[in-house]
Amino acid sequence: MTKVLIIDDEKPILESLSSILLEEGFAVCTAKDGKEGLAIFKKEKPRIVLLDIWMPEMDGLEVLRLVRETDPEAVVIVISGHGTISTAVEAVKLGATDFLEKPLSIDKVLEVISRGLAGGNNGKERTGDDVRIEIARGFEGCRQKTIGKSIVAYGMGLFSGVKTGMILLPMPPGTGIIFEQVPEGERIPAFVDYVYSSGNASSIKGKSCTITTVEHLLATCHMYGITNLLVKISDEVPIFDGSAQEICNKIEEAGIIEQNQGIEPLVVKKKIVLRNLPDGKYLSIEPASELEIDYRLDQPRPIGVQQYVFRGGKSAFLREIAPARTFGSIKDFERLEKMGLAAGSRVSSVMSNVILLNNEEVINTDLRFPDEFVRHKILDLIGDLYLITRPVIGKVVARQTGHLENIALVKELKQAFCR
């Protein structure tokens, strides 16, 4: 029987959690503060610890450090009634398996326990059925995948200008990619039905929460074949240096786990052309043997005319596309700042997270590729395509298009091939 230790200074939490976990077949012990909890932990050696952060005398983060020193393998789930993404990220960085916000949902408690045990002795697999989406299964040649362990990433929000972070967690087959907003706890699937675009970025919207700039993370998931993932975050995926390079590094750190169920790629069987686009814009997708993107960008100086054809998988993506950064003119960012947007890219922050242009040249960095601008457009497109929730096989031809057109194409793909 798996032992669970609950450390919380709120008596109702101790009583309610104890009752439910006992019914689920766990052996439960409780402590009302950190010192008592550490003493019980050393004596009973529980496999799982549910640990409140805000407690008198010794807070939960200090208890977490001491628990980790005693038993690095224990599953420690931190809980808090005053959760923020920075607190959650700090807890996971210190060794917590996961982070939960009060008031607690018992389904989420059981889910994170199950995930922490990796299919352990409780015999139950919980996956957050409140927002679970059915992904197209059954294609044995293409396995579903998740990451090998929980990871955290820090950065600045491009539009919020706030230092933020996110926690990426493995999920079981058939879950899909899910964003969970901290501290509200609302879960939003990375699926086209939940998407809206401002033109500057792609975002997903739930009943009361919005998560912005999801495209670089989704592009990375697309190219690594990650189909099942939980992303705990505040309101915006960090921009990092404007590229997907840091996200790729984090995924490499976590590792990839191939799961025991398949996923059916979306294979384009007929050509789809977006109609009624403004002059100069064009976007289509047609049958091909792999994902291929042919993008032509035609802009005033200093960008000029750039064209790039991307084909292939993860290796080509890491080498050719992932390092390409977000870009824009200094006038555009100044205009967004006046509107209360793009605070993370303000000129006074020295611009380490976007490529800034004036009428003549790049003014804040050296380019990684002579054609870095068109490569970044392809990065965005790869991410937006993954809002169909499965790998896409087809050739995309794009001219002068952005997020708005990308999302429109994904909606056409859903209508044509996902009935």
Residues with a catalytic annotation lie at 403
SS3 assignment for 157-219: CCCCCCEEEEEEEECCCCCCEEEEECCCCCEEECCHHHEEECCCCEEEECCCCEEECCHHHHH
Question: d(Cα 155, Cα 164) in Å, to the nearest integer?
Answer: 6
Helices vs strands, H then E, count in the chain: 11, 24
Question: d(Cα 285, Cα 290) in Å, to the nearest integer?
Answer: 12
| Short-list 289, 270, 213, 273, CA closest to 247 | 213
DSSP string for 239-288 = -TTSSSHHHHHHHHHH-EEEEEEEB--EE--S-EE--SPPTT-EEEEE--
How far apart, in Å, are the Cα atoms of 41 and each of 44, 131, 335? 5, 35, 56
Q: Please state whether beta strands 355-357 and 392-393 pair in parallel, antiparallel, or not at all (unpaired).
A: unpaired
Q: Please state whether beta strands 282-286 and 272-273 pair in parallel, antiparallel, or not at all (unpaired).
A: antiparallel
| Short-list 123, 93, 403, 109, CA closest to 253 | 93
CB atoms within 10 A of CB 274: 18
Task: Give Cα 359 to chain centroid, integer Å.
Answer: 35
